[in-house]
Structure 1
Amino acid sequence: MGAGTEPDGSSRSDEEWERFLRESVAGVADAPKEPSARARDVAKRLAAEPGPAPDGWRAYTPARPKRRTGWYVAGLLASPALLAVAIAPGRIVDLFTGTDSAPSAAETGRPDQAPPAGPAQRPTMDRPFRGSPAASWADGAAGITVPKAGAVGWMSAAEVEQALARSRDFLVASNLDRGVLRGERPEKAIALVNPHQKDVQDLLGTAFRTPDEKNDPLLLFSRFQPSRTRLVGDVVKTRGRLTYREGERGALQVTADVTFVYPVARADTGGGDDARDGEIVRTIVRRELVLSWDDPAKVSTEPGTFSVVSYKYDMTNGGCGALTGYFTPPFGTDHRADGAGTEVDPYDRSTPIGRGEPSKDGCRRATRS
């Protein structure tokens, strides 16, 4: 066979042989071990030629990406971000400043400290809890933790579970019901109170007609005067829990400790997405109630009702003037009248609740709202 002839009788051109021998010189893995005399002559000639080594026959070098590709992808990602900034700049700023916290876990016991302070930011009509620890709290009834029920005294576990649910219903009906918050009589809440408990029934009979220090509806119910104050948005933030134990004469005694945060504005301010459209004040009320679900065989009561053992509340940004039966949040220059008195962190739930009435040296003044 002559040079350049394959075993099957086909022949290769000189160009193909030169390419094959270039690969041999470059050290291709499958180059022949014993090239022919002609191949060795051509190899010597190619080796003597200047210039870079030839590319391998079966080698593959991926194309290097063009530099502008990265900018193109970045541009695609930046475009929706710029659009979002244009639509809601306040929310984007909050995202990068860490204002929006993850939802707080349910409270199952007394915390050992107050929640940390975040960046000082003014609330807006669209985001009335902005800059407040309550921003991460649950909405409405979801923020009131109800424990797992077990048998207590005269009640089975199923009856305790029902009583706990009705205890929470009372808190909702007295502090979250929209009609009650607008000053309506809290009929649903009152229906859960033992009608044979004379002292509480006397309070309820007087408080809504002629409120005074002893018979003040705010002792049990949250109310705002609609001609003066309006709630901002549809959400009231809450945080707290129910606990229970066996009380006197085998009764189920339920203790509620819950904080309610109400964002409010003047009744005559319009809606809007910015605080300048109307000042927002957060009225913060913490309540502690002890309720007794009595054995009807031992205490005069009605099925599905409880007796009120005690009630206490702390309130800030709710007014310090004459008793009216409503919370009166301070707006504008009214802040100066409420600026004196004992300082209190209304979000600190690490210690038991104090007295319900204002301190003797003036109103209780919130260190933050």
Structure 2
Amino acid sequence: MSDEEWERFLRESVTGVPGAPVEPSARAREMERRQQERPGEPEGWRTYTPARPRRRTGWYVTGLVVVVALLVVTLFPQRVAGWFDGDDGGQDGAPQAAESERPREAPGTEPDLRPTLAEPFRGSPAARWADGAAGITVPPAEATGWMDTAQVERALRRSRDFLVAAGLDSRVLRGERPTKAIALLNPHQEDVQEYLRTALSSKAPSGRTDPLLLFSRFRPEQSRLVGDVVKTRGRLTYREGRKGAVEVTADVTFVYPVTPAGGGGRDGEVVRTIVRRQVVMSWDDPARIITEPGTLTLVSYALDMTNGGCSAPTGYFVPPFGTDDKQDTDEAHRVDPYDRSKPIDTSGGTTATGGNCATATRS
């Protein structure tokens, strides 16, 4: 080999021969493989492809459902409440919301469960009602008639106090004199004072002088309350009455679970006496009506009751234990004692008892 050929060999060994094939790198081979699998523009070594935005269709649908539900609750509150009323039937059900207006229909049906000494309200809509005075709704006060807002608030509170003293006081329930309730009545209202004298002293009151028209009473030798809870549901309303008076109307249902006195009931017998009262009270302007401060004038009072006795008035509720007080009832006149969607029939006058002893569809 000549010196010129040797020098050319060394030079081509370092710089390479023009046109000679070149072995591709590992990344080049990988890019070629990807290009064959996914034809199109090659992806650069340091390029970035942003992720596609996620669709939020699920959130939009959820939001729409919530808006529709809120609209239904706003427009039809009573109907929505009815969907949840009465389905549980037991004492494990959620408490029912307070009654702020007259319901449109009776509460739903309950499982056919007998009341017991341990669960006296079992199988009854009252299982979800409030206890005692808590079940009587008092509306917000506003200046009305001769009273300012504070005076109306006081009148509403004392109106409820009268209902509590007349229908929930434990001593009155045992047949004692309703002293606290009487103290709230206008002593100058002669017809009411005469009614009280006759009703609370007579051993055989008439329908119009029956103390049960205003006061809940049981003979202690005949029956006793099961526990110390009376379930209630109802409300107060008010408006301006005659001569600027503030007229308060109470419409309340009381549910009294009772058992025979002395434990004489068969298998722990429990009967629920259900009483609905409508009482209209007038808080008169002392400048225009003769009255005493802090007392009310009775305008009217009416009563509906179930399991309280079908015989002649005795001045006490007579629960039908066993075969007691099994008097013929009006089968054509069937009533639901828990239905508060209809007013009490007061066609008999200001002190009406609601007519004949009807047949209750449930207790």
Q: TM-score, normalised by structure 2?
A: 0.71
Deviation at 1:335, TM superposition (A): 6.3
Cα deviation for residue 334 of structure 1 reads 2.7
Runs ≥4 residues deviating over 6 A = none
Map 1:1-369 → 2, pairs under 5 A: 99=90, 100-210=92-202, 211-269=205-263, 277-334=267-324, 336-337=326-327, 339-341=329-331, 342-355=333-346, 356-357=352-353, 359-360=355-356, 363-369=357-363
Please give the root-mean-square deviation of Cα atoms over the aligned residues, in Å: 1.8
**In structure 1, distance between residues paired with 2:280 and 2:272:** 26
User: How many angstroms apart in 2 are the aligned matches of 1:144 and 1:97?
Assistant: 22
Distance 1:212 1:98, change over 3 A: closer
Secondary structure of the residue aligned to 1:287 is strand
The answer as to whether partners of 2:247 and 2:280 remain within 8 angstroms in 1 is: yes
Letter aligned with residue 173 of structure 1: A
Q: C-alpha distance in 2, partners of 1:237/1:357?
A: 21
Cα deviation for residue 359 of structure 1 reads 3.1
Partner AA of 1:357 in structure 2? T
Superposed displacement of residue 349, structure 1 = 0.3
Q: Decide whether aligned partners of structure 1 residues 135 and 97 sit closer, same or farther in structure 2, where only a CA change above 3 A counts.
A: closer
Q: Distance in 2 between matches of 1:134 and 1:156?
A: 36
Q: Is the 8 A contact 1:115 1:347 kept in 2?
A: yes
Q: 1:358 to 1:109 in 2, by over 3 A?
A: closer
Q: Distance in 1 between matches of 2:316 and 2:128?
A: 27
Contact 2:89-2:125 at 8 Å conserved across structures: no
Q: CA deviation at 1:213?
A: 2.2
Task: Identify the residue that residue 90 of structure 1 maps to in structure 2.
Answer: none
Q: 1:232 to 1:365 in 2, by over 3 A?
A: same
CA deviations over 1:188-221 (Å, ceiling 9, x no partner)? 0000000000000000111111122221101110
Distance 2:195 2:88 in 1: 48
Using structure 1 for the length normalisation, give the TM-score. Answer: 0.70
SS in 1 for 2:253: strand
1:349 counterpart letter in structure 2: R
- Equivalent AA in structure 2 for residue 243 of structure 1: T
Structure 1 match to 2:36: none
- AA partner of residue 184 (structure 2): L
Which range moves more in the overlay, 172-181 or 338-347? 338-347
Q: Please give the alpha-carbon distance, in whole angstroms, between the structure 2 residues aligned to 1:204 and 1:276.
A: 37
Hey, what's the Cα distance between the residues in 1 that align with 2:289 and 2:88? 57
Which amino acid in the other structure matches residue 338 of structure 2?
Answer: Y
SS in 1 for 2:262: coil
- After superposition, give the CA deviation of every residue in 1:272-331 in whole Å (9 maximum; x if it has no partner): xxx963211100000001000000000000000010000011001000112210000101
Give the aligned length.
269
* Paired residue secondary structure (1:170): helix
- The answer (yes or no) to whether the contact 1:269–1:277 under 8 Å persists in 2 is no
SS at match of 2:278: strand
CA distance in 1 between counterparts of 2:183 and 2:89 reads 44
Aligned residue in 1 for 2:67: none
**TM-superposed deviation, 1:353:** 1.1
Structure 2: distance between partners of 1:225 and 1:143: 25
Change (3 A) 1:358 1:167: closer
Cα distance in 1 for partners of 2:206, 2:159 equals: 26
Change over 3 Å in CA distance of 1:185–1:278 after alignment to 2: same
Residue 329 of structure 1 aligns to a residue in which SS?
Answer: coil
Partner of 1:88: none
Aligned pair in 2 of structure 1 residues 295, 358: CA closer, same or farther (>3 Å)? closer
Partners of 1:269 and 1:365 in 2: CA distance: 27
Query: Could you tell me how far 1:144 is from its partner in structure 2?
Result: 0.1
Cα pair 1:319 1:338 within 8 Å, conserved: no
Contact 1:146–1:241 under 8 Å retained in 2: yes
Cα gap change, 1:301/1:115 in structure 2, threshold over 3 Å: closer, same or farther? same
**Structure 1 CA distance for aligned equivalents of residues 209 and 163 of structure 2:** 19
